[in-house]
Amino acid sequence: MEHDLVIRNGLLVDGTGSPARPGLSIAIDGDIITAIGADVGAGRREIDATGMLVTPGFVDIHTHYDGQATWDAELEPSTPHGVTTLMMGNCGVGFAPAKPDEHDFLIDLMEGVEDIPGAALSEGISWDWETFPDYLDALDRREYVADIGAMIAHGPVRVYVMGQRGADNEAATSDDIAQMAAIVGEAVDAGAFGFSTSRTIGHRAMSGEPVPGTFAAEDELFSIGRAMARSGKGVFEVAPAGLAGEDLVAPKKEIDWICRLADDIGRPVTWLMLQNLVEPDEWKELMERSQAAQDAGHQVIPQVAGRPFGILIGLSTKHRFKDMPSFGPLLNMSFAEQAEAMGDADLKARLIEESKASMHILRETQPMAAQVVDGFDRQYLLGDPVDYEPTPDRAITALAAANGVEPIEEFYEQLRQRNGKALLMMPFLGYAHGNGDALYEMLTHPAAVLGLADGGAHANFICDASTPTWMLTHWARDRTRGPKIPLESVVKKMTADTAALFGLTDRGVLEVGKRADINVIDHEHLQLREPRLVNDLPAGGTRLLQAAEGYVATIVGGVITREHDEFTGARPGRLIRS
């Protein structure tokens, strides 16, 4: 008997953390792995994986495709990086439940928090739902290149129940809380994978107002958590107060109630943890608190990033000259044409002078913003292939010193490189000491889970959805500034560990009987390219995409969805329910 598909003679890294096993083959029938061994028989279709890495499909637990999934089957930018299952509904923002007169508010909220173009959301979302079960049913009618799951978010729940009072972050009454708890319980019963809330002041709607639920009291949070837990399933996700170092007292208070909540509801509570610039070693104490809670039997799970979080600066994204009067005539040009025009010495002198004058005003009115714009010591060349752990000599200040020019002039010239496609990386979180050592410690800590890739979000400033490829290239293969992470551990962090957090017991490892979500990767030659701006969203909205080279095949439920870094057109992915 022939199998539907055989992946032959690969290096199996099975997701369990066990040592890699060379020369093994995998047989697939339907959507299930049916045999693993040196000789599994013939297949009607075969993939020669000689010299290739074979892994489970990657499970990305932190994305924001809540709107995009209603119109887009390909789910870029995540799926080109081996992601076969993704979870959305994070950070307290989403689109269900929603009354008809709340649509615009929820779009403004998502645009403000996650930098997803509001015009694209307005044109792309069909809104053929009101309740969260209706939303899941709407997603269930669609086909995708990967499986998707969803959590219910605090923001829309609060507004649905409380109206303007909820949007304004007024205190909830006991009746409000009972209604919110009932909605969350109904959502989890219908298949939501949990509940998310945001408490960081940095998450704001386009109006500047904090996300609904930012200041929610414990009775509101605990009642919702208990409603989720009554189903015996679900994850409670928190973007905590003080996440970016804006409040040095808040993180310790947050971990206190998070630990008590996990104890109270008996369900996993995962919270976002990043190294900040204000107190760069604070994360160590918070990690220890989480580990102590785990040792006591409570599921308090820090969610950490695979690389620094910040923004990308370039002609194609945002830069300090873009709003200057003399740059106006260049705005309708292509980026290559802008780069060429900026070679004019007179224009260069005017733009630099205008920018300096603008900075003088900004320092007086918005000193924190001025530090970001003028922070040339923390603006690094990204390169192509990219480097998210840049050395000090790649900073604008170091390059300027080497070339004997002012930093602003060096910055100007770097924007023009590679026909205007060059990008600079400015990390805000996770790079306080100018290296990846803190990230390494977080990633290798037994208490933590890998997340924060933010697929679908921050569309015009970052493209961290490519984190799986960065994990495989940098952390497992290329790092020179400190220790690497064993390949087997890297794969486990992106498969078995993330699947287990959300109770996805049918995937995340290569075992007979498990779902056939698999990657075949030319690991030796795997490369992560520089992000590029495209305008393929509804209403002509723009976003950054980031290509990888080296994914020989990505298989979802036994079907090849990508081959040699290109989509095949197959869409076997579906909504999954908890």
260: domain CATH number is: 3.20.20.140
Residue where a domain stops, chosen among 417, 450, 466: 466
* Tokens found for residue 576: 């999954």
Longest dimension (CA), the chain: 76
Residues 143 and 264 in one domain: yes
Please report whether residue 198 resides in a domain: yes
Counting the structural domains of the chain, the total is: 2
Q: How crowded is the C-beta side of 150, counted as CA atoms within 13 Å? A: 32
Query: Angle at the Cα of 226 (from 209 to 86), degrees rounded to 5?
Result: 65
Residue where a domain stops, chosen among 380, 413, 428: 428
Closest CA to 270 of 211, 323, 200, 194: 194
Residue 97: is it exposed, middle or buried by C-beta count within 10 angstroms (0-12/13-18/19+)? buried
Residue where a domain stops, chosen among 379, 404, 428: 428
* Tokens found for residue 298: 């409570």
Please report whether residue 568 resides in a domain: no
Residue 251: C-alpha distances to residues 243, 273, 365 (Å): 7, 10, 28
Please report whether residue 494 resides in a domain: no
Residue numbers of the domain that contains 341: 312-428
> For residue 202, what pLDDT is reported?
87
Residues 224 and 177 in one domain: yes
Residues 292 and 330 in one domain: no
Which residues are CB-neighbours of 284 under 8 A, at least 6 positions away?
Answer: 441
Place of tokens 């809104």: 127
Closest CA to 467 of 488, 445, 434, 490: 490
Place of tokens 């973007």: 239
> For residue 243, what pLDDT is reported?
85
> For residue 373, what pLDDT is reported?
81
What is the C-alpha to C-alpha distance for residues 520 and 176, in angstroms, rounded to an integer?
Answer: 50
* Tokens found for residue 244: 């970016």
> For residue 216, what pLDDT is reported?
98
- Cis peptide leading into residue 486 (ω within 30°): no
Residues 350 and 408 in one domain: yes
To which H or E segment does residue 496 belong?
helix 496-501
Place of tokens 């989480």: 290
What is the C-alpha to C-alpha distance for residues 90 and 464, in angstroms, rounded to an integer?
Answer: 15
The strand pairing partners of 424, in sequence order, are: 313, 381
Residues 127 and 256 in one domain: yes
Distance between terminal CA atoms of the chain? 35
| Stated pTM of the model | 0.97
Q: DSSP E strands: which ranges in 336-486?
A: 380-381, 424-429, 449-450
Residues 420 and 280 in one domain: no
Residues 117 and 129 in one domain: yes
Q: Any alpha helices (H) in 396-514, and if so which ranges? A: 396-403, 407-415, 417-420, 437-444, 467-470, 487-494, 496-501
To which H or E segment does residue 34 belong?
strand 32-37
> For residue 412, what pLDDT is reported?
98
The DSSP line for 95-114 is S-S--GGGHHHHHHHHHHHH
Q: What amino acid is encoded at 458 in this protein?
A: H
The rounded Cα 435 to chain-centroid distance in angstroms is 21
Residues 337 and 279 in one domain: no
> For residue 244, what pLDDT is reported?
83
Residues 183 and 211 in one domain: yes
Residues 262 and 154 in one domain: yes
Closest CA to 236 of 296, 179, 298, 279: 298
Please report whether residue 484 resides in a domain: no
Phi, psi (deg, nearest 5) at residue 207: -75, -15
Please report whether residue 444 resides in a domain: yes
Alpha-carbon dihedral 83, 88, 92, 94, rounded to 10 degrees: 140
The rounded Cα 322 to chain-centroid distance in angstroms is 27
Please report whether residue 477 resides in a domain: no
List the chain residues with pLDDT less than 50. Answer: none
Please report whether residue 140 resides in a domain: yes
Please report whether residue 175 resides in a domain: yes
Residue 87: C-alpha distances to residues 113, 235, 451, 505, 508 (Å): 17, 11, 10, 15, 14
Residues 345 and 217 in one domain: no
> For residue 527, what pLDDT is reported?
98
Q: What amino acid is encoded at 300 in this protein?
A: V
What is the C-alpha to C-alpha distance for residues 494 and 508, in angstroms, rounded to an integer?
Answer: 8
Residues 381 and 295 in one domain: no
